Structure 1
Amino acid sequence: MLTPTLLLASLLPLLLLCRTSLCQYSSDQCSWKGSGLTHEGHTRDVEQVYLRCSQGSLEWLYPTGAIIVNLRPNTVSPAAARLSVCIKPSPDSSGTNVYLDRNGRLRLLLREQDQAQGRVHCFSIQEGALFIEAVPRSDISRRITAFQYELVNNKFGAEALSPAAPCQPCSDADMLLAVCTNDFVARGSITKVEQREEHSSVTVAISRLHRQKTQVFVSGGVRARSWTGHIKMPAQCGARAGEGEFLFTGSVRFGEAWMGCAPRYKDFLRLYREAERRGTNPCHMDTD
């Protein structure tokens, strides 16, 4: 039996583009859906898949042979080299092992048995494409490999989503920039902290919602000027309920909010007003 590295080397002359009606892109090339049935009788084929969005999904039914998934931003920019790719397998994903392919050299990223855990796995975009190889089986029915992907800034890539991410305090510059660039910015307090196996889930009550990329925080009603929501953070960060008012900032990954900088609001306000006086604020925020 060929090893994945030898398999890739032997198949390079056979690389094919997606070529049948069973292999489909979404109209904006954000998502791909294919079937291993197209490989029947020629399982040595390797198909090239190109996805060119900041987020999307892949679904490979009845996997046989292998596919190479090239994830790239839809614009050419020097900043693209600093991106990370994060993938989140479906809990039902099975039938393949996932490798990183850089110039024909493979590194195992995700084994078949690990995919059911549904954990986020991240890597630098410069580490290569995804080489997804089917696990040989006589019966491929009910085998589907499926995951979501996102291209993210390295600051919110592998390190930020890791259970072992360090709880380093943000610098003054980090806090001021977070207000301008993060997916959510909200003023509020912590009402509950639940310790999970790999992270803490922080329930927050929001008194002032400055911005949210997606529906992270839910309104208390038409007349209520308050919101509630949940934010994830590494377990060792030691968040506690009822310790005052904070400015919560952070990123949204796969529909979940992850904490970034979260200074006490009074400390942030003092910092913001000093930067405003000096004219060094990167953007304006309504603090009234």
Structure 2
Amino acid sequence: MIILRTFLPWWHIISAMIIILVDVCDSAGMSSDSCDWYGSGLLQEEREVQSVYLRCGQGRIQWQYPRGALRLVLRHGFSGRDFFGCLRTDAQFSGANIYVEGHRKLHSLFTKTDGKHPELFRCFTSYLGKVALYVEAEQTSKGLHKEVASFSYDLQLASPHSLRDEFQECRPCTEDELLQKFCTSDFAIQGTVDTLRHQNDLQRSELEVRITRIYRKNDTSQLMPKSNQLEPNHTILYRPLKCGTQAATGSFLFLGRWILGIPVIQCAPRITEWQKVRRKAILHGKHQCQLD
């Protein structure tokens, strides 16, 4: 983990100058493959900016006693590829605001007073394989009163085409994608949709699914109900609200991954469609794993 410190009285105004420093540091190999960063603002001056470089697909930031600002430069490993990213603040997040660096200006990503649901994912897109997040301490000083600005982030590599397509995550998966995700996704389950709810404040659709078969899951206990409100063999899965998910009958194969603690569907073909893809893959030897 590399931490650089600079004293910038008006870091909002001269953020473009910091970008030059970041590029120099990166080119000199001053990066880290760490996923998490933990620190305290008690170790820095009121107007000091700490620059932290992380190269990981997922991680966690915890900044106690926020003071000055953090500049978090995120990359997805060493691929140099662009990515989509989202963060989710902890319920007790306090003492700071979060911005994403744009062209010559900062764009607000999270403030506790922005009126949005505290559990809403705050998302962003990288540029030239990286993104810089500013975590700025609030100006109102509370002395030694402990505040903690903490959140988790998740980055997902994207193709050049998908970066230009706002609804990329909503389109049906191709046959090759179905085969690849069946073998690599965090969960692969068969089931029927009992209830569909749209959560406008969280910008997601919630599907209550009755599980009829679990093909693969690293931790099956995560899919099982943890609340008395759900019947046995039921679980909750999610899709982005913008996808316009509609209620449908029949049996589906749900493939997806955990994003910031939420199981998100990436592919959901009908079982009859999946069986055709499966038979074709086995016939032509295209399967990458056991397909049953």
TM-score by length of 2: 0.73
- Where does structure 1 lack aligned partners over 5 or more consecutive residues? 16-27, 221-225
CA distance in 2 between partners of 1:239 and 1:151 (Å): 29
Which residue pairs with 2:25 in the alignment?
none
Which residue pairs with 1:81 in the alignment?
81
TM-score by length of 1: 0.74
Residues 196 and 142 of structure 1: CA distance in aligned 2, closer, same or farther (over 3 Å): same
- 8 Å contact from structure 1 (residues 63, 96) kept in 2: yes
CA distance in 2 between partners of 1:138 and 1:145 (Å): 15
- 8 Å contact from structure 1 (residues 99, 106) kept in 2: no
Matched, 1:258 2:261: no
Residues 165 and 216 of structure 1: CA distance in aligned 2, closer, same or farther (over 3 Å): farther
For residues 84-103 of structure 1, the aligned pairs below 5 Å read 84-101=84-101
State the SS of the aligned residue for 1:169. Answer: coil
AA paired with 1:228?
H
Which residue pairs with 2:179 in the alignment?
176
- Aligned partner (choices 47, 51, 59) of residue 50 of structure 2: 47
Which residue pairs with 2:287 in the alignment?
281
**In the TM superposition, what is the alpha-carbon distance from 1:7 to its structure 2 partner?**
5.0
- Aligned partner (choices 238, 241, 253) of residue 246 of structure 2: 238
- 8 Å contact from structure 1 (residues 51, 69) kept in 2: yes
AA paired with 2:211?
I
Q: What are the superposed Cα offsets for residues 169-201 of structure 1, whole Å, 9 maximum, x if unpaired?
A: 222232222212222111122222233223221
Matched, 1:122 2:126: no
Which residue pairs with 1:62 in the alignment?
65
CA root-mean-square deviation:
3.4
Which residue pairs with 2:278 in the alignment?
272
**In the TM superposition, what is the alpha-carbon distance from 1:128 to its structure 2 partner?**
2.4
State the SS of the aligned residue for 1:63. Answer: coil
CA distance in 1 between partners of 2:117 and 2:43 (Å): 25
AA paired with 1:237?
T
State the SS of the aligned residue for 2:13. Answer: helix
Q: What are the superposed Cα offsets for residues 234-275 of structure 1, whole Å, 9 maximum, x if unpaired?
A: 3421134xx121111112111211111111111210221023
Residues 275 and 6 of structure 1: CA distance in aligned 2, closer, same or farther (over 3 Å): same
AA paired with 1:60?
W
**In the TM superposition, what is the alpha-carbon distance from 1:280 to its structure 2 partner?**
3.0
- Where does structure 2 lack aligned partners over 5 or more consecutive residues? 1-8, 23-32, 227-231
State the SS of the aligned residue for 1:201. Answer: strand
**In the TM superposition, what is the alpha-carbon distance from 1:167 to its structure 2 partner?**
3.7
Q: What are the superposed Cα offsets for residues 210-231 of structure 1, whole Å, 9 maximum, x if unpaired?
A: 22244432289xxxxx843110
- Aligned partner (choices 247, 259, 266) of residue 253 of structure 2: 247
Give the count of matched residue pairs. 255
CA distance in 2 between partners of 1:245 and 1:116 (Å): 33
**In the TM superposition, what is the alpha-carbon distance from 1:86 to its structure 2 partner?**
1.9
Matched, 1:210 2:215: yes
Q: What are the superposed Cα offsets for residues 34-75 of structure 1, whole Å, 9 maximum, x if unpaired?
A: 222222xx32221122334332211212212111112234x5
CA distance in 2 between partners of 1:277 and 1:13 (Å): 54
Residues 54 and 38 of structure 1: CA distance in aligned 2, closer, same or farther (over 3 Å): same
CA distance in 2 between partners of 1:274 and 1:13 (Å): 52
Which residue pairs with 2:154 in the alignment?
150
Which residue pairs with 1:188 in the alignment?
191
